Amino acid sequence: MGFGEAKYWMQKAEKAFERKIGVKLFYGTLNVELKEKYILNKNIQILNKEEYGGSQEVYIKPCEIFKRKAYIIRTQKNSSSKGDHPLNLLEIVSDINFRKKYNLKDGDEIKIEIK
């Protein structure tokens, strides 16, 4: 489902994300497709493009999967529906590889608790 660019951007933003959130991230995202659009509008932090040397802001919202702390990340373009991902797609980052740890496969259903 993803484009394989997460590793590049995670490496680029690693230090800035760690300073902002306090977590060293796994280089990759877990992409979760929802049945409905999800708008990030409350309780978000913003990683400014200047903080990580990128071309747009990244919005960060805490969540939990399998009782583990994780974060929904969405670029400014994706948040405004002008990016590569629709609003019903969540890109989730954490300090672990959820696919490997929980043996997840495309199409598996998971529970996400959004904070």
Burial class (CB in 10 A: 0-12, 13-18, 19+), 38: middle
What is residue 1's predicted lDDT score, i.e. its pLDDT? Answer: 44
% pLDDT > 70, the chain: 93
Instruction: Give me the tens of pLDDT residue by residue for the chain, a chain 115 residues long.
Output: 445 566 677 777 888 889 999 999 888 889 999 999 999 988 899 999 999 888 899 999 999 999 999 999 999 999 998 888 999 999 999 999 999 999 999 999 999 999 9
Position 2 scores a pLDDT of 47
Give the integer Cα–Cα distance in Å for 90 and 98.
Answer: 14
pLDDT score of 6: 63
Strands 58-65 and 45-47 turn out to be antiparallel
Strand (E) positions, 22-66? 30-33, 45-47, 58-65
What is the spatial distance between Cα 114 and Cα 14, in angstroms, rounded to a whole number? 22
